[in-house]
Amino acid sequence: MFKKAKWHKSVKKAKTKRKKLRDQLDKLWSEIVKQRAGYKCEYCGKTTYLNSHHIFSRSNLSVRWSLNNGTCLCSGHHTLNTWSAHKSPVEFIEWIMDKRGYLWYTDLRKQANQIRKWTIPELETLVEEFKKEINDEKN
């Protein structure tokens, strides 16, 4: 049959401006979620091995960088334990609704059901807003 060209393995695509902004927003979003939680697991209070968890999947762009769509969890409560956000999603949603309220959850769910296409200027504005929030919290 056909042989694959070998050069494709060594050629690395340059990141687009949109991809760079998305990566930057993911890091900033994660930091703010942890910062707002006081750098503690919101379930058990642990202060080590913290992860920022998206309540609705990060693939959902309408809520990917919504700070209401995040919670700070230790690695056990995020993915590793039997009771974790990823292994027991029903129990997790019940817990988060109990913690933040049913109205909060339904509002977030409505937002998650919207279709959102971010423009580059909107992403840039969000980066600046997130940087400002991080700096304001540090001061």
pLDDT tier for residue 6 given thresholds of 50, 70 and 90: low
> Is the predicted pLDDT of residue 51 greater than 90, yes or no?
yes
Q: What is the helix (H) or strand (E) element at residue 50, kind and residue range?
A: strand 50-54
Q: What is the CA radius of gyration of the chain?
A: 18
Q: Within 10 Å of residue 133's Cβ, how many Cβ atoms?
A: 16
- What value does the mean pLDDT of the chain take? 92
Contact 70, 37 (CB under 8 A): no
| DSSP symbol at 54 | E
- Model-level pTM? 0.87
